[in-house]
Structure 1
Amino acid sequence: LDVFYVYRSLITIFLTMLICGVGIAGNIMVVLVVLRTKHMVTPTNCYLVSLAVADLIVLLAAGLPNISDVVAFWIYGYTGCLCITYLQYLGINVSSCSITAFTIERYIAICHSIKAQFICTVSRAKRIIAGVWIFTSLYCTMWFFLVDTDETVYTNGVVVTCGYRVSRSLYMPIYFLDFTLFYVIPLIVATVLYGLIARILFMSPLPSHLNDRAGGGSGTCLGSKWLYGWITKMLAVVVILFALLWMPYRTLVVVNSFIDPPYHNTWFLLFCRMCIYTNSAINPIVYNLMSQKFRVAFKKLCKCHWGQREAEYNKPAVQSQREPPEGIG
């Protein structure tokens, strides 16, 4: 049993550190390239920044505490239990709302291209994002009243855990509310709207030279269907990954609502957690693979970062050759 526990713990720590490390770095890069590059500030990219920040919160509040929980039980105290749980659900729910928002924006941009010139603006996107964060922040405050720390006394010490202060029958309706608002409804909306988008694009096939130009489109809301082809495919992939990677955990919650005792297989729980972390980490990789503009922006950001580091490293060496530091010689 001890060998099994150590083996599982090592796998959990390794996978969590790998996925969270890649995800944190990638999502920070998404935020930086959009904020630091003027032509990248588009309505769609504003939603992607919101999604990146939400994913960062998930990785920091859910992923990293999982590492310490494996090796030392709960070490963050009562306040940490409340805040970390709140941030986990805040990140998860904002991520879902951001996906829904850019799906609707894509639909308007392609299926109502004339209206889109007035509706799909950066300022409107920022207002929508602010509304999403305010609504979700208020909605998630209920978790401050639903969780608590629990101390179990053993002969060799006290084990502290962060869990629910209410019974299973009381918090299950809340899980189903979350399941409906932030998983089922977004997927229904995405399925319907991307179906309408595909229908529009299929009914009006584009010349090959316009398809080529679409790959280098600016991504702004200009009302031209071909301009949105490349980014629409990319965002559809993001939605599909969201649906697939959240499915194991969401299915587990639904199944456990109807069976007693609940299904708590250790390896399947680990698989569900890793799927959630992967969902928050994979989007920057998708952008890099499917968007030329993001790929170029990522490369420029990396070159800029390493160029600054090399300049800082070489600067003292150049100075030391010309002029000794003060107080020497």
Structure 2
Amino acid sequence: MDDQQNITFMWPSHLPPDNSMMRYLNSTEEYLAYLCGPKRSRLSLPMTLVYATIFLIGVIGNTLVCLVILKHHNMRTPTNYYLFSLAVSDLLVLLLGMPLEVYEMWSNYPFLFGAWGCYFKTVLFETVCFASILSVTTVSVERYVAIIHPFQAKLKSTRSRALKILVTLWIFSILFSIPNTSTHGILLQYFPNGSLIPDSATCTVVQPLWIYNCIIQVTSLLFYILPMGVISVLYCLMGIKLRGDHSLEADKMSVNVQRPSRKSITKMLFVLVMVFGICWAPFHVDRLFFSFVLDWTEPLANAFNLTHVVSGVFFYLSSAVNPLIYNLLSRRFRSAFQNVLPPFFKSLKPKIPVQSLAPPKSTLILTVRNRMDSGEEGSPSFPHRTSVCSSHLSTVL
């Protein structure tokens, strides 16, 4: 939300120069700080340390998720394809977005990458934001169909279908990122006499604010509020179905202990969605806060800055926490992680055979309902078994 930080504290530039203030501005740097805020954030050092920790955890964890799904054929299920898409969007945010934001914490202006760099930054963050929520929503719908309509899931939930949905999802996300990107550009500051202030370029909103505010409100509704509402209803219905499903007792009695039950898979995805919703809530509160406030006062600006910092931390935290959820709640992911770890880590724990990732053949104790569950993952290999979505830390803090 780099554009928000600039707009919030550039409001003096939209007013006639304050003569009482001008006599205290004895240099170009002071006048530019008066217009755009401090060049460096007061929280640049602690926030850099926090972001570096999130960066390491997120990059390592999401890389492992991608390697696990690519390396082990038995992990290439429709559900895991959506998790792969989520991991890719998280990696894009961490590898391309976070370094740029950390740089801007230390040097908020001038923006060094020109207009096309500004467009790329905005479209990148907007696209991965939309792709993340759409991936989470899609995997929730797939899980709902698998629980409520298992026969239909067995017929329709395939890997080829999942790939087609993901391609459509990413194209859709790119297209919806264009409106917000079109409001951005490079803004230059000028002295009262009309001359250009050196090194004053910032990547921010250059179109009328009402256009930007409308886009923010619509996208927050379409890509957070409505999806999270639909997801909440779906998991409530799934919970009711699973609570009254006595056929789950057959899963507990079965010798086929390696096959993940419907309940365990749904539990993992429920936790993932819940954490996703919590981590993204401050970000959308921040966006809507800015878009609805027209007359800024000092208390409102302070409240916005606090929300801004919290939203930035939680935004990037959402990109790092998913692999931890898989490791804690999924035995198959945990086993697969251990098999792709570097040799040093493998020596610390006994290697788990790759074959253990695939469930054994079903036994006679499995009922027809159990075999229906194999369609939940949708993989033929198992016949029986979570800007403006840009910078987040205002340099005025």
TM-score range, shorter chain: 0.7 to 0.9
Q: In structure 2, how many angstroms separate the alpha carbons of the residues matched to 1:140 and 1:133?
A: 11
Correspondence for 1:118 among 155, 169, 172: 155
Pair 1:253 & 2:287 matched? yes
Residue among 116, 132, 142 paired with 1:79: 116
- Could you tell me which residue of structure 2 aligns to residue 321 of structure 1? none
Structure 1 residue 260 displacement after superposition: 2.9
Tell me how far apart the structure 2 counterparts of residues 21 and 106 of structure 1 sit (CA, whole Å).
31
Partner AA of 2:218 in structure 1: L
Alignment of 1:12-23 (within 5 A): 12-23=47-58
**Structure 2: gaps of 5 or more residues:** 1-36, 347-397
Residue number in structure 1 paired with 2:128: 91
1:6 CA drift (Å) = 6.3
Counterpart amino acid of 1:113?
P
Give the aligned partner of residue 351 of structure 2.
none
- Alpha-carbon spacing, 1:203–1:169, altered in 2? closer, same or farther (3 Å): same
2:249 corresponds in structure 1 to 207
Partner Cα separation in structure 2 for residue 122 and residue 54 of structure 1? 19
Structure 2 CA distance for aligned equivalents of residues 215 and 177 of structure 1: 46
Say whether residues 1:70 and 2:105 are aligned partners: yes
Shift of residue 216 of structure 1? 3.3
Distance (Å, rounded) in 1 between the aligned partners of 2:197 and 2:219? 39
**1:142 equivalent among 179, 185, 188:** 179
Q: Say which is worse superposed, 34-43 or 76-85, in terms of deviation.
A: 76-85
Instruction: Give deviations 1:127-168, integer Å, cap 9, x for gaps.
Output: 111110111122212344211112335899423211011122
Correspondences of 1:40-51 after superposition (within 5 Å): 40-51=75-86
Q: Is the 8 A contact 1:19 1:281 kept in 2?
A: yes
Deviation at 1:97, TM superposition (A): 0.3
Greater share of helix: 1
1:165 matches 2:199 = no
Matched, 1:298 2:337: yes
Distance of aligned partners of 1:167 and 1:6 in 2 relative to their CA distance in 1, 3 Å threshold: closer
Q: Does 1:180 align with 2:221?
A: yes
Partner AA of 2:172 in structure 1: F
Flag the 1:289–1:91 CA change in 2: closer, same or farther, 3 A: same
TM-score using structure 1 length: 0.83
| Partners of 2:234 and 2:256 in 1: CA distance | 20
Letter in 1 for 2:214: P
AA partner of residue 83 (structure 1): F
SS at match of 1:207: helix
Q: Distance in 2 between matches of 1:212 and 1:63?
A: 47
**Structure 2: how far apart are the matches of 1:167 and 1:305?**
56
* 2:275 is the alignment partner of 1:241: yes
Partner of 1:159: helix, strand, or coil? Answer: coil
Q: Which amino acid aligns with 2:104?
A: D
Q: Which runs of 5+ in 1 are unaligned?
A: 219-226, 308-329
Pairwise CA distance, 1:249: 2.1
Distance change (3 Å), C-alpha of 1:36 and 1:83: same
Structure 2 CA distance for partners of 1:94 and 1:230, relative to 1, 3 Å: same
What CA distance in whole angstroms lies between the structure 1 residues aligned with 2:128 and 2:254? 36
**How far apart, CA to CA, are the structure 2 residues paired with 1:18 and 1:145?**
33
Matched with 1:287 is 326
Q: Is the 8 A contact 2:115 2:186 kept in 1?
A: yes
Correspondent of 1:231 among 261, 265, 270: 265
Residues 229-264 of structure 1, C-alpha deviation per residue, up to 9 Å, x if partnerless? 112111111111121111112123223333333544
**Contact 2:186–2:201 (8 Å) recurs in 1:** yes
CA apart distance, 1:187:
0.6
SS in 2 for 1:166: coil
Q: Which residue of 1 is the match for residue 259 of structure 2?
A: 217
RMSD between superposed Cα atoms in Å: 2.6
